[in-house]
Amino acid sequence: MTDLELLAPARTAEIGIAAIDCGADAVYIAGPSFGARQAAGNSIEDIARLCEYAHRFGVRIYATVNTIVYEEELEEVRSLVHSLAGAGVDALIIQDPAVLKMAREAGIIAHASTQCAIRTPEKARFTESLGYGRLVLERELSLGQIKAIREAVEAELEFFVHGALCVCYSGQCYLSEYLTGRSANRGACAQACRNLYDLEDSNGKTLIKNKALLSLKDYNLLHRLEDLTEAGICSFKIEGRLKSESYVRNVVKAYSEALDALVGRYPDQYRRSSFGRVRGGFSPNLDKTFNRGYTELFLDGKRGQWSSMDAPKSMGEYIGQVARLTRYGFELKPAQPDIRMANGDGLAFVAPNGSVVGFRADVCDGFSIRCKAVEGLKSGLPLYRNISAAFEKALEAQRPERVFPVSVEICIEERLVKAKATAEDGREAVILESILSEAARDPKRMRETVRSQLEKRSGHYVFSVRSLETCETLPFMPTAFLNGIRRSLAEQLDQLPAKALPLMEGKENAAINAPETLDYKANIANSKDRELYASRGCRQMEPAYELSHQFGVELMRSKYCIRHELGLCPKQGKAQKAEPLFLRNGKERLQLTFYCYQCEMTVTGL
């Protein structure tokens, strides 16, 4: 039996709780520092509160400590790791090997972050040998590459299935540091890949102006979960630790329903890794939430149109064109007759300079839209809806709830009631209650009352009567008495910790050597890193780019290729040779070099 996990992001503990209520099996969240999103920190107290709620359902909490760590920060990180252990986190997501040893000392399982740039079986074997129980793989992999890694290691494999895509291989992007001094490996990425650039050839001729040439569409593998499972993935990760609560709830519920359907098709092969079931709530719709358009990237080993160069921000769903401007706004020519507009809808269009202009529809009367004056809005412009006011209201008003199924066996004798409750995770509670009352006048109705009162909800437990044995002379039992039995069973279950399914623990294997030479892309930032790599046979180590700022080195390497995206790939017969191209943004000029044999593109500073 394979345990399948839906892993949700959380900027705050409240968003984490909302994700759990919508079906997440695990949540990843940052503590107060050293998470790869500086704007998404949380106190240890909030982490502990989230852990307490999550563990009711056997849901796991993973804390991100996935930045590189400088020498003077080692003791601060060690203290943080022990605080997170005390708060009850189930695992740490780590990039810097120095933190791995700290996690082991604190007794916490370690997962290798996607920042570790794991995209080959060789890198996977070495990373696993350090003692990681799970490897978070690069997003740019194909199913075949995932299978090859699965065959090479025993560790659990985690893979992103939804959300924003970095154009660069994770953990090896230095463009933000180069341009702004804000390191992606330190959680301060300036998202330079979403900037507008001009594209020039080697002669300085401008080929394209004002396009987000390095911006990718968002990942969406909702319909590929079975393929990923067959390839060896057990944890399906949603990107978005900076996203809103409504985004997280919508995406988590959509993927939870898809994962439930997968388990339902193969109940003898798969099960969810947490307990409890989602009940009620809104109907998810991924087109209604933040996205730059969707792609499955390289999953099938083929290239497609991956770029969102025309819309680096969320454009949402295409709703039609501006038919004509009016005194108070405009008339919409809808793309489909069944489109319904609502007051407060967020709309957007692409301006001639390539920027995305957003505005609100204040009052909607059919397709007659009243709004404030919007510069650049004119007849014929394609319009998109990036905020659906009606859908956002449904998300807020129709909140799902997470309930814990409990089966109850009841045995009623003339003077005694015995109730045994068994929760979904195997916890048991038993109640023995004496009955000091006369026989029920209507035994059949009394049996119905017993079942109906015990098959109610207490706290987050939902009870169902599996068996009901009664004596011939059934005693009368007030509803308050039966409700008290149900509440007592719930209180007993609450006193017992949920029997969470175990995570895989990592095993260190010192027999696997590191490469003899490691360059700046190994992100070596402290003495503990150097000691570890030296103990594994590495003889020459460069410091991390953030410490050395080497000139003229590769700032990005990507599976994405601008030449292919623009139809200029030599393999497509559109050019004789893939000569370098150049990106210009103001005074900054970057060189694009194309490695056609590997089908990769690099970005280098000039």
Residue-wise pLDDT for 339-357, tens only, equals 999 999 999 998 887 778 9
Q: Which residues have a Cβ under 8 Å from the Cβ of 50 and sit 6 or more positions away? A: 10, 13, 16, 17, 27, 29, 61
DSSP 114-141: GGG---SHHHHHHHHHTT-SEEE--TT-
User: Do 414 and 393 share a structural domain?
Assistant: no
The DSSP code for 192 is G
Give the pLDDT confidence score for residue 268 in this predicted structure.
Answer: 95
User: Do 336 and 229 share a structural domain?
Assistant: no
Give the pLDDT confidence score for residue 571 in this predicted structure.
Answer: 80
For tokens 């079906």, the residue is 23
Burial (CB < 10 A; 0-12, 13-18, 19+), residue 194, is middle
Q: Which residues have a Cβ under 8 Å from the Cβ of 491 and sit 6 or more positions away? A: none
User: Do 327 and 270 share a structural domain?
Assistant: no
Q: Assign residue 148 the CATH number of its domain.
A: 3.20.20.70
Q: What is the rounded distance in angstroms from the CA atom of residue 382 to the CA atom of residue 259?
A: 35
Q: Is residue 487 part of a domain?
A: yes
Contacts 24+ apart (CB under 8 A), 69-75: 69/34, 69/96, 69/98, 69/99, 69/525, 69/526, 70/525, 70/526, 70/547, 71/525, 71/526, 71/527, 73/34, 73/526, 74/98, 74/526, 74/528
Confidence band, pLDDT 50/70/90 cuts, at residue 597? confident
User: Do 393 and 407 share a structural domain?
Assistant: no
Give the pLDDT confidence score for residue 389 in this predicted structure.
Answer: 93
Mean pLDDT of the chain: 93
User: Do 434 and 350 share a structural domain?
Assistant: no
Burial 483-506 (b: 16+ CB within 10 A, else e): eebbebbbeebbeeebebbebbeb
Q: Is residue 18 part of a domain?
A: yes
The yes-or-no verdict on residue 119 having pLDDT over 90 is yes
Q: What is the rounded distance in angstroms from the CA atom of residue 3 to the CA atom of residue 5?
A: 7
User: Do 149 and 20 share a structural domain?
Assistant: yes
Give the pLDDT confidence score for residue 36 in this predicted structure.
Answer: 59
The DSSP code for 99 is H
User: Do 144 and 52 share a structural domain?
Assistant: yes
Q: Strand runs (DSSP E) across 306-400, as ranges?
A: 317-325, 329-334, 346-350, 356-360, 363-365, 368-370, 382-387
The yes-or-no verdict on residue 262 having pLDDT over 80 is yes
Q: Is residue 576 part of a domain?
A: no
Instruction: Give me the half-sphere count of Cα atoms (radius 13 Å) on the Cβ side of residue 299.
Output: 21
User: Do 407 and 393 share a structural domain?
Assistant: no
Indicate the residue among 494, 519, 536 that finishes a domain: 494
The yes-or-no verdict on residue 472 having pLDDT over 90 is no
User: Do 417 and 343 share a structural domain?
Assistant: no
Q: Assign residue 384 the CATH number of its domain.
A: 2.40.10.170
Give the pLDDT confidence score for residue 314 in this predicted structure.
Answer: 80
The yes-or-no verdict on residue 575 having pLDDT over 70 is no
- Could you report the per-residue pLDDT of 36-62, keeping only the tens digit for each? 566 668 999 999 999 999 999 999 999
Q: Which residues have a Cβ under 8 Å from the Cβ of 589 and sit 6 or more positions away? A: 582, 583, 606
Specify the pTM: 0.93
Q: Which residues have a Cβ under 8 Å from the Cβ of 509 and sit 6 or more positions away? A: 128, 129
Give CA torsion, residues 78, 501, 248, 20, to 10 deg.
-100
Of 105, 115, 118, the closest CA to residue 155 belongs to 118
Give the pLDDT confidence score for residue 37 in this predicted structure.
Answer: 67
- Phi, psi (deg, nearest 5) at residue 48: -65, -40
- Could you report the per-residue pLDDT of 68-104, keeping only the tens digit for each? 999 999 999 999 999 999 999 999 999 999 999 999 9
Give the pLDDT confidence score for residue 353 in this predicted structure.
Answer: 78
Contact 90, 60 (CB under 8 A): yes
Q: Which residues have a Cβ under 8 Å from the Cβ of 438 and sit 6 or more positions away? A: 475, 476
- Phi, psi (deg, nearest 5) at residue 317: -90, 140
Q: Is residue 518 part of a domain?
A: no
Q: What is the rounded distance in angstroms from the CA atom of residue 298 to the CA atom of residue 597?
A: 16
The yes-or-no verdict on residue 474 having pLDDT over 90 is no
Give the pLDDT confidence score for residue 480 in this predicted structure.
Answer: 92
Contact 450, 482 (CB under 8 A): yes
Comparing 577 with 603, the larger pLDDT belongs to: 603
Structural tokens at position 396: 């807020």
Give the pLDDT confidence score for residue 267 in this predicted structure.
Answer: 95
User: Do 379 and 459 share a structural domain?
Assistant: no
Please give the tally of structural domains in the chain: 3
Beta bridge pairs of residue 458: 461
- Could you report the per-residue pLDDT of 511-529, keeping only the tens digit for each? 999 999 999 999 999 999 9
The yes-or-no verdict on residue 421 having pLDDT over 80 is yes
Q: Is residue 233 part of a domain?
A: yes
pLDDT (average), residues 544-557: 93
User: Do 430 and 349 share a structural domain?
Assistant: no
Contact 270, 229 (CB under 8 A): yes
H helices present in 107-241, as ranges: 121-129, 143-152, 175-180, 225-231
Report the percent of the chain where pLDDT is more than 70: 99
Beta bridge pairs of residue 588: 585
SS3 content of the chain, % helix, strand, coil (to 5): 30, 30, 40
Of 591, 602, 590, 601, the closest CA to residue 179 belongs to 590
Give the pLDDT confidence score for residue 576 in this predicted structure.
Answer: 67
Q: Residue 332 belongs to what domain range?
A: 313-397
The yes-or-no verdict on residue 499 having pLDDT over 90 is no
Q: Which of 25-29, 145-149, 195-199, 433-437 has the lowest mean pLDDT?
A: 433-437
User: Do 425 and 390 share a structural domain?
Assistant: no
Indicate the residue among 494, 528, 558 that finishes a domain: 494
* CA distances for 566 relative to 206, 210, 236, 604, angstroms: 14, 15, 32, 20
Q: Is residue 529 part of a domain?
A: no
- Could you report the per-residue pLDDT of 161-211, keeping only the tens digit for each? 999 999 999 999 999 999 999 999 998 898 999 999 999 998 889 999 989
Q: Is residue 223 part of a domain?
A: yes
Indicate the residue among 453, 478, 494 that finishes a domain: 494
Q: Is residue 142 part of a domain?
A: yes
- What does the radius of gyration of the chain's CA atoms come to, in whole angstroms? 28
Q: What is the rounded distance in angstroms from the CA atom of residue 532 to the CA atom of residue 524?
A: 10
Confidence band, pLDDT 50/70/90 cuts, at residue 470? confident
